[in-house]
Amino acid sequence: MKVTLEGITKVFPPHSKKESPVTAVSNFNLEIPDGKLVALLGPSGCGKSTLLNMICGLEAPTSGSVFFDENDVTKLPPEKRGVGMVFQNYALYPHMSARKNILFPLGNLKGKAKLTKEEKNKRMLDAARIVQIENLLERKPGNMSGGQQQRVAIARALVKYPGILLLDEPLSNLDARLRLETREEIRRIQKNTGITTVFVTHDQEEAMSISDIIVLMKKGVFQQSGKPQDVYDNPANLFVAKFLGTPAINVFKGRIEGGKVYIGDEAVSDVPGCGDREVFIGIRPEGFIPDKNGPLTCDFRSIDVLGRDYMIVAAHGEAEAPVIRAIVDSENKIEENPEKVRFSFKKNKFFVFDAKTEERIYVG
Ligand code: ATP
């Protein structure tokens, strides 16, 4: 099922006279293609959960419309939308076995949708098989690990054959190892079922590693969407560039004068076609090349060996952060403990952003 959001805005009224209304989502337009795994990504409070709740019908938009394929579902209640929802805290019934938890949503189907006992059991077993918990069906949630409980929650969402699966921070209650395992699991389940899936996360690595498409938002406003690698390689603005990647992109203050961009006194690159202005320069850690004749000079701090690569930690007066991090191939030799280290840059790893709008104006 394709999902289209057209000009969605959500304003929460103030809770008291002292508060102002909160615009959680602002004029949001998005098309989520059928059968894809899409991550809604952004910092805490940027409106991700509110947007997800408007897709499933738990919140009504203040303005704008939600379409499933060509059908306007904006005014439909959640139970009529055919969506499966999985929350961060699983929300399983503690006194029921996994089997009963999974069967539960089938109990209140009415009319034509009503199922026989055999049909219900078959659906329950199919869902349990997809998430690989057939051998745990008699256990209650309290006797299962967080990852197993999350699988039961996903099975419970799948059992109604939803057209869309919505997951709100499904991994945040799990420890690091289980997070990794469970995210692969979600990817596998999504691939096997082909259900259009939207999941909310503030973890860029999680989003980048399993999604077909990532959608970045900031303060309720759409920033950019696309395949993870494309967005990483072509950030539309400084926010997106900073949000994706570990270690984070290195950001410097600078200016453009006469077709060249300067960091401090050094002209670090030609920027053909860009007018004079104040800018930010973003350089990915893997975009630095140690180079005795390179255009950017930094104060050397230390070297961290990472195995195949190493990380040069350095500092620069115009850098936003106290240190900059350059990840370079161990074949690049630099002298031991130099005072200064100079860099040139790899292609497509060097970005220039307008200081006022923070829009990207150049890729080097
Ligand atoms: P997190 O990652 O922390 O869950 P989020 O990106 O999902 O954050 P939302 O929960 O959608 O963000 O919240 C977006 C904004 O809307 C926040 O400023 C939040 O305080 C506000 N908000 C959310 N729900 C309500 C509500 N029922 N009443 C008033 N304000 C709300």
**218 lies in the same domain as 284:** no
Judged on CB neighbours under 10 Å (0-12, 13-18, 19+), 258 is: exposed
Whether the model pTM is above 0.85: yes
Same domain, 175 and 319: no
Classify the C-alpha dihedral 169-174-176-181 as positive or negative: negative
CA dist list (Å): 59 to 24, 53, 135, 194, 335 = 12, 5, 37, 26, 60
Query: Which of 342, 317, 320 shows the shortest CA–CA distance to 249?
Result: 320
Shared domain check, 127 and 24: yes
pLDDT at 347: 92
**Among 237, 257, 280, residue at a domain's last position:** 237
32 and 175 in a single domain? The answer is yes
pLDDT of residue 90: 66
Same domain, 233 and 268: no
Q: How far apart are CA 261 and CA 253, in angstroms?
A: 10
Q: How far is the CA of 24 from the centre of ligand 1 (A)?
A: 6
Q: Which residue's CA is the closest to the ligand 1 atom numbered 10?
A: 49
Ligand 1 pocket member 58 (CB < 6 A): no
Q: Domain limits at 23?
A: 3-237
* Co-location of 260 and 285 in the same domain: yes
CA atoms within 13 A on the CB side of 322: 1
Q: How far are the Cα atoms of 40, 105, 170, 208, 361 from residue 225, in angstroms, in the given order?
A: 9, 33, 21, 12, 18
Same domain, 285 and 232: no
Any ligand 1 atom below 6 A from CB of 44: yes
Residues 201, 252, single domain; the answer is no
188, 218, 237 - which closes a domain: 237
CB under 8 Å to 338, separation ≥6 — which residues? 300
DSSP conformational letter for 327: E
List % helix, strand, coil for the chain (3-state, nearest 5). 25, 35, 40
Q: Are residues 323 and 287 in the same domain?
A: yes
Query: Does the beta carbon of 25 sit less than 6 angstroms from any atom of ligand 1?
Result: no
Q: How far apart are CA 310 and CA 298, in angstroms?
A: 17
Residue 108 shares a structural domain with residue 132? yes
Q: Based on the fold, state whether residues 182 and 261 are members of the same structural domain.
A: no
3-state per-residue secondary structure call for 111-168 = HHHCCCHHHHHHHHHHHHHHCCCHHHCCCCHHHCCHHHHHHHHHHHHHCCCCCEEEEE
Per-residue pLDDT reduced to its tens digit, 24-48: 999 999 999 999 999 999 999 999 9
Q: Do 187 and 262 share a domain, yes or no? A: no
- End-of-domain residue from the set 205, 237, 269: 237
Where residue 121 sits, what CATH number does that domain have?
3.40.50.300
Other CB atoms within 10 A of residue 13 CB:
9
Q: How many secondary structure helices (H) and strands (E) does the chain include?
A: 8, 21
Residue 65: what residue type? S
- Work out how many domains the chain is built from and give that number: 2
Helix (H) or strand (E) holding 71: strand 71-72
Mutational pocket test of ligand 1: of 8, 10, 23, 50, the residue with most ligand atoms within 8 Å of the beta carbon: 50
Contact by Cβ (8 Å): 146, 175: yes
- Residues in the chain with pLDDT values less than 50: none
Strands 196-201 and 250-257: unpaired
Mutate to test the pocket of ligand 1, among 25, 48, 243 (most ligand atoms within 8 A of CB): 48
